[in-house]
Chain A
Amino acid sequence: MKKVMQTPFTEEAVRSLHAGDQLILSGTVYTGRDAAHKRLCAMLAAGETLPVDLAGQAIYFVGPCPAPPGRPIGSAGPTTSGRMDAYSPVLIKECGLRAMIGKGGRSQAVIEAMKEYGCVYLAATGGAGALIANSIVKAEVVAFDDLGPEAIYKLELDNLPLVVAIDADGNSLL
Protein backbone atom coordinates (compact mmCIF):
# COMPACT_ATOMS: atom_id res chain seq x y z
CA MET A 1 0.00 0.00 0.00
CA LYS A 2 1.24 3.46 -0.81
CA LYS A 3 1.13 6.22 1.82
CA VAL A 4 0.17 9.67 0.62
CA MET A 5 2.06 12.44 2.45
CA GLN A 6 2.57 16.16 2.36
CA THR A 7 5.53 18.29 3.50
CA PRO A 8 6.40 19.73 6.00
CA PHE A 9 6.72 16.75 8.34
CA THR A 10 6.10 16.48 12.05
CA GLU A 11 8.42 14.26 14.10
CA GLU A 12 5.47 11.95 14.74
CA ALA A 13 4.74 11.56 11.01
CA VAL A 14 8.38 10.79 10.30
CA ARG A 15 8.60 8.22 13.09
CA SER A 16 5.47 6.46 11.78
CA LEU A 17 7.27 5.50 8.56
CA HIS A 18 8.99 2.14 8.14
CA ALA A 19 11.74 0.96 5.81
CA GLY A 20 10.10 -0.48 2.69
CA ASP A 21 7.04 1.79 2.83
CA GLN A 22 6.09 3.32 -0.51
CA LEU A 23 5.27 7.00 -0.35
CA ILE A 24 3.61 9.45 -2.67
CA LEU A 25 4.91 12.87 -1.63
CA SER A 26 3.58 16.34 -2.40
CA GLY A 27 4.48 19.80 -1.13
CA THR A 28 7.60 21.94 -0.85
CA VAL A 29 11.12 20.47 -0.73
CA TYR A 30 14.53 22.12 -1.08
CA THR A 31 17.31 20.81 -3.30
CA GLY A 32 20.93 20.57 -2.26
CA ARG A 33 24.13 18.84 -3.35
CA ASP A 34 27.63 18.80 -1.87
CA ALA A 35 28.56 22.38 -2.71
CA ALA A 36 25.33 23.81 -1.20
CA HIS A 37 25.62 21.56 1.87
CA LYS A 38 29.20 22.72 2.40
CA ARG A 39 28.09 26.35 2.35
CA LEU A 40 25.10 25.74 4.65
CA CYS A 41 27.32 24.03 7.23
CA ALA A 42 29.95 26.80 6.98
CA MET A 43 27.21 29.39 7.61
CA LEU A 44 25.95 27.45 10.64
CA ALA A 45 29.50 27.20 11.99
CA ALA A 46 29.87 30.97 11.58
CA GLY A 47 26.58 31.56 13.40
CA GLU A 48 24.88 33.03 10.32
CA THR A 49 21.19 32.65 9.41
CA LEU A 50 20.59 30.16 6.60
CA PRO A 51 18.88 31.33 3.40
CA VAL A 52 16.26 28.58 3.87
CA ASP A 53 14.41 27.36 6.96
CA LEU A 54 14.85 23.59 7.06
CA ALA A 55 12.74 22.89 10.17
CA GLY A 56 10.33 20.05 9.38
CA GLN A 57 11.47 20.10 5.76
CA ALA A 58 12.97 17.68 3.27
CA ILE A 59 16.13 18.13 1.24
CA TYR A 60 16.21 16.46 -2.16
CA PHE A 61 19.74 15.64 -3.33
CA VAL A 62 19.46 16.68 -6.97
CA GLY A 63 21.16 18.83 -9.57
CA PRO A 64 18.48 19.24 -12.24
CA CYS A 65 18.85 19.91 -15.96
CA PRO A 66 17.95 23.43 -17.13
CA ALA A 67 14.21 23.96 -17.66
CA PRO A 68 13.20 23.78 -21.33
CA PRO A 69 10.74 26.49 -22.46
CA GLY A 70 7.28 26.00 -20.94
CA ARG A 71 8.41 23.66 -18.17
CA PRO A 72 9.27 24.42 -14.53
CA ILE A 73 12.37 22.20 -14.52
CA GLY A 74 14.36 19.78 -16.63
CA SER A 75 15.16 16.17 -15.82
CA ALA A 76 15.54 15.88 -12.03
CA GLY A 77 16.47 12.48 -10.59
CA PRO A 78 18.42 11.90 -7.36
CA THR A 79 22.18 12.08 -6.99
CA THR A 80 24.36 9.84 -4.78
CA SER A 81 23.49 10.65 -1.16
CA GLY A 82 26.78 9.41 0.30
CA ARG A 83 28.48 12.65 -0.79
CA MET A 84 26.27 14.51 1.70
CA ASP A 85 27.11 12.20 4.63
CA ALA A 86 29.63 14.64 6.05
CA TYR A 87 27.00 17.39 6.29
CA SER A 88 23.60 15.74 6.91
CA PRO A 89 24.02 15.08 10.68
CA VAL A 90 24.60 18.82 11.27
CA LEU A 91 21.44 19.81 9.38
CA ILE A 92 19.36 17.14 11.15
CA LYS A 93 20.62 18.21 14.58
CA GLU A 94 20.80 21.98 14.24
CA CYS A 95 18.04 22.75 11.71
CA GLY A 96 15.40 20.11 12.42
CA LEU A 97 15.60 18.54 8.96
CA ARG A 98 13.01 15.72 8.85
CA ALA A 99 13.64 13.97 5.53
CA MET A 100 16.32 13.45 2.92
CA ILE A 101 15.61 12.23 -0.60
CA GLY A 102 18.37 10.63 -2.66
CA LYS A 103 19.86 7.35 -3.83
CA GLY A 104 22.41 4.89 -2.47
CA GLY A 105 23.67 4.18 1.06
CA ARG A 106 24.24 6.46 4.09
CA SER A 107 26.92 6.42 6.79
CA GLN A 108 26.36 5.18 10.32
CA ALA A 109 26.78 8.75 11.62
CA VAL A 110 23.85 9.90 9.46
CA ILE A 111 21.69 6.99 10.63
CA GLU A 112 22.49 7.74 14.29
CA ALA A 113 21.44 11.39 13.83
CA MET A 114 18.23 10.24 12.07
CA LYS A 115 17.38 8.01 15.04
CA GLU A 116 18.20 10.58 17.68
CA TYR A 117 16.38 13.56 16.19
CA GLY A 118 13.69 11.89 14.04
CA CYS A 119 14.48 11.96 10.30
CA VAL A 120 13.87 9.56 7.40
CA TYR A 121 15.86 8.77 4.29
CA LEU A 122 13.72 8.34 1.19
CA ALA A 123 14.88 6.78 -2.07
CA ALA A 124 13.84 8.41 -5.33
CA THR A 125 14.32 6.36 -8.48
CA GLY A 126 17.85 6.93 -9.76
CA GLY A 127 18.06 7.30 -13.52
CA ALA A 128 14.36 8.20 -13.89
CA GLY A 129 14.88 11.96 -14.17
CA ALA A 130 12.27 12.58 -16.87
CA LEU A 131 9.56 10.73 -14.94
CA ILE A 132 10.42 12.62 -11.75
CA ALA A 133 10.41 15.98 -13.58
CA ASN A 134 6.74 15.34 -14.33
CA SER A 135 6.04 15.28 -10.55
CA ILE A 136 7.60 18.73 -10.06
CA VAL A 137 5.14 21.52 -10.77
CA LYS A 138 7.19 24.53 -9.68
CA ALA A 139 10.88 25.33 -9.20
CA GLU A 140 12.73 28.48 -8.20
CA VAL A 141 16.31 29.14 -7.17
CA VAL A 142 16.31 30.43 -3.57
CA ALA A 143 20.04 30.44 -2.75
CA PHE A 144 23.55 30.08 -4.17
CA ASP A 145 22.61 30.91 -7.77
CA ASP A 146 26.29 31.00 -8.69
CA LEU A 147 26.50 27.22 -8.21
CA GLY A 148 24.48 26.57 -11.40
CA PRO A 149 22.93 23.08 -11.19
CA GLU A 150 24.13 22.90 -7.57
CA ALA A 151 22.13 25.95 -6.41
CA ILE A 152 19.36 25.50 -3.82
CA TYR A 153 15.97 25.28 -5.52
CA LYS A 154 12.58 25.35 -3.83
CA LEU A 155 10.50 22.67 -5.54
CA GLU A 156 6.78 22.06 -5.40
CA LEU A 157 6.15 18.32 -5.67
CA ASP A 158 2.97 16.73 -6.95
CA ASN A 159 2.79 13.01 -6.18
CA LEU A 160 6.46 12.02 -6.33
CA PRO A 161 6.88 8.24 -5.86
CA LEU A 162 9.43 7.37 -3.14
CA VAL A 163 10.47 4.42 -0.99
CA VAL A 164 11.49 4.65 2.69
CA ALA A 165 15.06 3.32 2.43
CA ILE A 166 16.09 4.01 6.06
CA ASP A 167 13.56 4.80 8.77
CA ALA A 168 13.95 6.79 12.00
CA ASP A 169 14.59 3.56 13.94
CA GLY A 170 17.62 2.89 11.75
CA ASN A 171 16.04 0.01 9.80
CA SER A 172 17.46 -0.05 6.29
CA LEU A 173 16.74 -1.70 2.95
CA LEU A 174 20.27 -0.86 1.80
Chain B
Amino acid sequence: MKTITFDTVKDAVCRMCGQAACDLPPDVLAALKSAAGREKNVLAQGFFEQYLQNSDIAARERLPLCQDTGFAVFFVSMGSEVMIDGGTLREAINAGVRDGYKKYYLRKSIVADPLFDRKNTFDNTPAVIHLEQVPGDQLHIVLAPKGGGSENMSALKMLKPSEGRNGVVDFVVNSVISAGGNPCPPTIVGVGIGGTMEYAAFMAKKALLREVGKASSDPRYAELEAEILQKINASGVGSQGLGGDITALAVHIEFHPCHLASLPVAVNLNCHAARHAEVIL
Protein backbone atom coordinates (compact mmCIF):
# COMPACT_ATOMS: atom_id res chain seq x y z
CA MET B 1 0.00 0.00 0.00
CA LYS B 2 1.02 3.60 -0.60
CA THR B 3 0.00 6.14 2.02
CA ILE B 4 -0.84 9.72 1.06
CA THR B 5 -1.51 12.13 3.88
CA PHE B 6 -4.67 14.13 4.28
CA ASP B 7 -2.65 17.38 4.11
CA THR B 8 -0.93 16.36 0.87
CA VAL B 9 -4.31 15.98 -0.82
CA LYS B 10 -5.69 19.13 0.80
CA ASP B 11 -2.70 21.29 -0.24
CA ALA B 12 -2.68 19.93 -3.80
CA VAL B 13 -6.39 20.69 -4.16
CA CYS B 14 -5.87 24.18 -2.73
CA ARG B 15 -3.21 24.95 -5.37
CA MET B 16 -5.36 23.51 -8.15
CA CYS B 17 -8.21 25.87 -7.24
CA GLY B 18 -5.97 28.89 -7.90
CA GLN B 19 -4.41 27.41 -11.00
CA ALA B 20 -7.71 26.38 -12.60
CA ALA B 21 -9.27 29.79 -11.95
CA CYS B 22 -6.41 31.86 -13.44
CA ASP B 23 -4.60 29.78 -16.06
CA LEU B 24 -6.45 28.97 -19.26
CA PRO B 25 -5.27 25.48 -20.33
CA PRO B 26 -2.99 25.58 -23.44
CA ASP B 27 -5.37 23.51 -25.57
CA VAL B 28 -8.24 25.96 -24.91
CA LEU B 29 -6.00 28.93 -25.70
CA ALA B 30 -4.86 27.28 -28.95
CA ALA B 31 -8.49 26.57 -29.92
CA LEU B 32 -9.44 30.21 -29.25
CA LYS B 33 -6.55 31.51 -31.33
CA SER B 34 -7.41 29.20 -34.21
CA ALA B 35 -11.12 30.16 -34.06
CA ALA B 36 -10.23 33.88 -33.94
CA GLY B 37 -8.52 33.47 -37.31
CA ARG B 38 -11.68 31.95 -38.84
CA GLU B 39 -14.15 34.53 -37.47
CA LYS B 40 -15.36 37.05 -40.09
CA ASN B 41 -17.89 39.01 -38.00
CA VAL B 42 -16.32 42.31 -36.87
CA LEU B 43 -18.02 42.46 -33.44
CA ALA B 44 -17.10 38.84 -32.79
CA GLN B 45 -13.48 39.49 -33.81
CA GLY B 46 -13.43 42.14 -31.08
CA PHE B 47 -14.70 39.60 -28.55
CA PHE B 48 -11.99 37.11 -29.51
CA GLU B 49 -9.38 39.81 -28.94
CA GLN B 50 -10.87 40.35 -25.49
CA TYR B 51 -10.83 36.61 -24.66
CA LEU B 52 -7.11 36.45 -25.48
CA GLN B 53 -6.35 39.64 -23.54
CA ASN B 54 -8.38 38.27 -20.63
CA SER B 55 -6.31 35.10 -20.58
CA ASP B 56 -3.08 37.16 -20.50
CA ILE B 57 -4.31 39.41 -17.69
CA ALA B 58 -5.63 36.50 -15.63
CA ALA B 59 -2.33 34.59 -15.84
CA ARG B 60 -0.14 37.65 -15.23
CA GLU B 61 -2.16 39.38 -12.52
CA ARG B 62 -3.49 36.17 -10.91
CA LEU B 63 -7.09 37.27 -11.35
CA PRO B 64 -9.70 34.61 -12.13
CA LEU B 65 -10.52 34.34 -15.85
CA CYS B 66 -14.20 34.57 -14.90
CA GLN B 67 -15.80 35.87 -11.72
CA ASP B 68 -17.91 32.72 -11.58
CA THR B 69 -15.20 30.48 -10.21
CA GLY B 70 -17.76 27.76 -10.21
CA PHE B 71 -18.91 24.65 -8.48
CA ALA B 72 -15.75 22.66 -7.70
CA VAL B 73 -16.28 19.43 -9.64
CA PHE B 74 -13.68 16.68 -9.21
CA PHE B 75 -12.95 13.56 -11.20
CA VAL B 76 -10.77 11.33 -9.07
CA SER B 77 -9.10 8.05 -10.07
CA MET B 78 -7.80 6.35 -6.97
CA GLY B 79 -5.38 3.46 -7.27
CA SER B 80 -6.44 0.36 -5.34
CA GLU B 81 -3.05 0.46 -3.54
CA VAL B 82 -3.59 4.03 -2.25
CA MET B 83 -4.59 4.82 1.32
CA ILE B 84 -5.38 8.29 2.69
CA ASP B 85 -3.95 8.85 6.17
CA GLY B 86 -5.68 11.28 8.53
CA GLY B 87 -9.21 11.46 7.10
CA THR B 88 -11.32 10.55 4.12
CA LEU B 89 -10.59 11.62 0.56
CA ARG B 90 -13.85 13.58 0.50
CA GLU B 91 -12.91 15.53 3.63
CA ALA B 92 -9.44 16.27 2.26
CA ILE B 93 -10.80 17.56 -1.05
CA ASN B 94 -13.37 19.77 0.68
CA ALA B 95 -10.69 21.12 3.02
CA GLY B 96 -8.56 21.97 -0.03
CA VAL B 97 -11.48 23.76 -1.71
CA ARG B 98 -12.15 25.73 1.48
CA ASP B 99 -8.48 26.83 1.64
CA GLY B 100 -8.10 27.48 -2.10
CA TYR B 101 -11.23 29.59 -2.58
CA LYS B 102 -10.13 31.76 0.34
CA LYS B 103 -6.42 31.98 -0.46
CA TYR B 104 -6.86 32.88 -4.14
CA TYR B 105 -9.81 35.28 -3.63
CA LEU B 106 -12.24 33.13 -5.62
CA ARG B 107 -15.97 33.68 -5.50
CA LYS B 108 -17.98 31.49 -3.16
CA SER B 109 -20.96 30.42 -5.22
CA ILE B 110 -22.57 27.54 -3.33
CA VAL B 111 -25.85 27.84 -1.39
CA ALA B 112 -26.56 25.26 1.29
CA ASP B 113 -30.18 24.57 0.42
CA PRO B 114 -31.28 24.64 -3.23
CA LEU B 115 -34.90 25.62 -2.63
CA PHE B 116 -35.73 27.19 0.73
CA ASP B 117 -33.01 29.28 2.38
CA ARG B 118 -30.43 29.49 -0.40
CA LYS B 119 -27.84 30.71 2.12
CA ASN B 120 -24.27 30.89 0.88
CA THR B 121 -21.92 28.39 2.55
CA PHE B 122 -19.21 31.08 2.15
CA ASP B 123 -16.42 28.56 1.50
CA ASN B 124 -17.58 27.07 -1.82
CA THR B 125 -18.04 23.62 -0.30
CA PRO B 126 -19.27 21.00 -0.68
CA ALA B 127 -17.50 19.92 -3.87
CA VAL B 128 -19.02 17.41 -6.29
CA ILE B 129 -16.67 14.42 -6.40
CA HIS B 130 -16.80 11.62 -8.98
CA LEU B 131 -14.63 8.80 -7.66
CA GLU B 132 -13.42 5.79 -9.58
CA GLN B 133 -11.12 3.03 -8.36
CA VAL B 134 -8.34 1.96 -10.72
CA PRO B 135 -5.39 -0.46 -10.45
CA GLY B 136 -2.05 0.89 -9.17
CA ASP B 137 -0.66 3.27 -6.57
CA GLN B 138 -1.50 6.69 -7.98
CA LEU B 139 -4.10 9.23 -6.96
CA HIS B 140 -5.15 11.26 -10.01
CA ILE B 141 -7.26 14.32 -9.25
CA VAL B 142 -8.84 16.52 -11.92
CA LEU B 143 -10.63 19.72 -10.93
CA ALA B 144 -13.07 21.25 -13.42
CA PRO B 145 -14.72 24.31 -11.83
CA LYS B 146 -18.11 24.75 -13.47
CA GLY B 147 -19.83 28.09 -13.89
CA GLY B 148 -23.58 28.47 -13.44
CA GLY B 149 -24.28 30.27 -16.72
CA SER B 150 -23.12 27.41 -18.90
CA GLU B 151 -24.34 24.68 -16.53
CA ASN B 152 -27.87 26.14 -16.61
CA MET B 153 -28.00 25.52 -20.36
CA SER B 154 -27.57 21.75 -19.92
CA ALA B 155 -30.15 19.50 -21.56
CA LEU B 156 -31.10 15.86 -21.36
CA LYS B 157 -33.57 13.83 -23.35
CA MET B 158 -34.49 10.19 -23.44
CA LEU B 159 -34.93 9.72 -27.20
CA LYS B 160 -36.77 6.83 -28.76
CA PRO B 161 -34.21 4.48 -30.34
CA SER B 162 -36.06 4.97 -33.64
CA GLU B 163 -35.10 8.66 -33.62
CA GLY B 164 -31.51 7.51 -34.15
CA ARG B 165 -28.66 9.58 -35.49
CA ASN B 166 -30.82 12.43 -36.83
CA GLY B 167 -32.66 12.69 -33.52
CA VAL B 168 -29.36 13.06 -31.70
CA VAL B 169 -28.07 15.72 -34.12
CA ASP B 170 -31.28 17.77 -33.90
CA PHE B 171 -31.45 17.60 -30.12
CA VAL B 172 -27.83 18.67 -29.57
CA VAL B 173 -27.86 21.42 -32.21
CA ASN B 174 -31.19 22.84 -30.99
CA SER B 175 -30.01 22.78 -27.37
CA VAL B 176 -26.95 24.86 -28.25
CA ILE B 177 -28.90 27.30 -30.45
CA SER B 178 -31.63 27.85 -27.86
CA ALA B 179 -28.97 28.52 -25.21
CA GLY B 180 -28.05 31.62 -27.25
CA GLY B 181 -25.62 33.94 -25.49
CA ASN B 182 -26.33 32.60 -21.99
CA PRO B 183 -23.47 30.05 -21.73
CA CYS B 184 -20.87 32.63 -22.98
CA PRO B 185 -20.22 31.19 -26.43
CA PRO B 186 -17.99 30.13 -28.05
CA THR B 187 -18.62 26.99 -26.05
CA ILE B 188 -17.26 23.49 -25.89
CA VAL B 189 -20.16 21.08 -26.29
CA GLY B 190 -20.02 17.92 -24.19
CA VAL B 191 -22.40 15.15 -25.27
CA GLY B 192 -23.16 11.86 -23.54
CA ILE B 193 -24.98 9.23 -25.57
CA GLY B 194 -26.24 5.98 -24.04
CA GLY B 195 -25.97 4.58 -20.53
CA THR B 196 -28.79 5.59 -18.21
CA MET B 197 -30.27 9.03 -17.54
CA GLU B 198 -27.66 10.01 -14.95
CA TYR B 199 -24.78 8.27 -16.72
CA ALA B 200 -25.46 10.17 -19.95
CA ALA B 201 -25.24 13.42 -17.96
CA PHE B 202 -21.99 12.26 -16.33
CA MET B 203 -20.48 11.44 -19.74
CA ALA B 204 -21.53 14.83 -21.14
CA LYS B 205 -19.63 16.54 -18.33
CA LYS B 206 -16.62 14.24 -18.61
CA ALA B 207 -16.49 14.89 -22.37
CA LEU B 208 -15.62 18.52 -21.56
CA LEU B 209 -12.29 17.37 -20.12
CA ARG B 210 -11.04 16.01 -23.43
CA GLU B 211 -8.32 18.03 -25.18
CA VAL B 212 -10.27 20.66 -27.11
CA GLY B 213 -11.04 19.53 -30.65
CA LYS B 214 -9.55 16.05 -30.30
CA ALA B 215 -11.91 13.79 -32.21
CA SER B 216 -13.57 10.69 -30.76
CA SER B 217 -11.48 7.56 -31.20
CA ASP B 218 -14.50 5.92 -32.88
CA PRO B 219 -14.68 7.17 -36.51
CA ARG B 220 -18.52 7.10 -36.56
CA TYR B 221 -18.71 9.32 -33.49
CA ALA B 222 -15.88 11.52 -34.80
CA GLU B 223 -17.94 12.11 -37.95
CA LEU B 224 -21.00 12.87 -35.82
CA GLU B 225 -18.98 15.40 -33.78
CA ALA B 226 -17.86 17.16 -36.97
CA GLU B 227 -21.39 17.28 -38.38
CA ILE B 228 -22.90 18.68 -35.17
CA LEU B 229 -20.12 21.29 -34.89
CA GLN B 230 -20.68 22.39 -38.49
CA LYS B 231 -24.43 22.77 -37.92
CA ILE B 232 -23.96 24.68 -34.66
CA ASN B 233 -21.55 27.13 -36.27
CA ALA B 234 -23.82 27.55 -39.32
CA SER B 235 -26.50 28.85 -36.92
CA GLY B 236 -24.84 32.27 -36.66
CA VAL B 237 -25.48 32.50 -32.88
CA GLY B 238 -21.85 33.55 -32.57
CA SER B 239 -19.65 34.90 -29.80
CA GLN B 240 -21.75 36.06 -26.81
CA GLY B 241 -24.87 35.23 -28.87
CA LEU B 242 -24.43 38.52 -30.74
CA GLY B 243 -23.72 36.93 -34.12
CA GLY B 244 -20.73 35.35 -35.84
CA ASP B 245 -19.24 32.28 -37.44
CA ILE B 246 -17.96 30.56 -34.30
CA THR B 247 -20.59 29.49 -31.75
CA ALA B 248 -18.73 26.39 -30.56
CA LEU B 249 -15.03 25.55 -30.48
CA ALA B 250 -15.58 21.79 -30.41
CA VAL B 251 -18.09 18.99 -29.91
CA HIS B 252 -16.96 16.04 -27.80
CA ILE B 253 -19.10 12.91 -27.65
CA GLU B 254 -18.75 10.09 -25.12
CA PHE B 255 -20.87 6.98 -25.51
CA HIS B 256 -21.78 3.88 -23.52
CA PRO B 257 -23.90 0.72 -23.90
CA CYS B 258 -27.55 1.35 -23.11
CA HIS B 259 -30.87 -0.39 -22.50
CA LEU B 260 -32.56 -1.79 -25.61
CA ALA B 261 -35.56 0.49 -24.96
CA SER B 262 -33.54 3.68 -24.54
CA LEU B 263 -31.44 6.29 -26.30
CA PRO B 264 -30.40 8.82 -23.62
CA VAL B 265 -28.67 11.99 -24.85
CA ALA B 266 -27.24 14.64 -22.54
CA VAL B 267 -25.66 17.99 -23.40
CA ASN B 268 -23.36 19.92 -21.07
CA LEU B 269 -21.77 23.18 -22.22
CA ASN B 270 -18.55 24.80 -21.15
CA CYS B 271 -17.87 28.48 -21.82
CA HIS B 272 -14.73 29.63 -23.63
CA ALA B 273 -13.03 30.02 -20.22
CA ALA B 274 -12.93 26.21 -20.06
CA ARG B 275 -11.01 25.70 -16.89
CA HIS B 276 -9.41 22.63 -15.41
CA ALA B 277 -6.36 21.56 -13.46
CA GLU B 278 -4.97 18.16 -12.52
CA VAL B 279 -2.46 16.53 -10.26
CA ILE B 280 -1.07 13.02 -9.81
CA LEU B 281 -0.02 12.08 -6.28
Contacts and interface: CB of A to CB of B under 8 A. Distances in A.
**Main SS class of interface, A:** loop
A105 B180 contact: yes
23 contacts: A22-B43, A35-B118, A66-B105, A74-B63, A76-B67, A80-B149, A103-B182, A104-B149, A104-B181, A104-B241, A123-B240, A123-B242, A127-B184, A127-B271, A127-B273, A128-B65, A130-B65, A148-B108, A148-B120, A148-B122, A149-B107, A161-B50, A174-B241
B134 to A, nearest CB: 33
A173 B243 contact: yes
Interface string B16-59: 00000010000000000000000000010011001101100110
A82 interface: yes
A71 B63 CA distance: 10
B107 A66 contact: yes
Given A125-B240, A131-B54, A173-B242, A105 B66 contact: no
Contacts of B196: none
A154 B124 CA distance: 25
Interface of B: 22, 43, 46-47, 50-51, 53-54, 57-58, 61-69, 105-109, 118, 120, 122, 148-149, 152, 180-182, 184, 240-243, 271-273
A149 B180 contact: no
Given A71-B63, A77-B68, A130-B64, 4 more contacts: A74-B63, A75-B58, A82-B182, A128-B66
Given A64-B107, A149-B107, A128 B64 contact: no
Nearest to A20: B43
Name which of A62, A127, A130 has the most chain B CB atoms within 10 A of its CB: A127
Contacts of A64: 67, 107
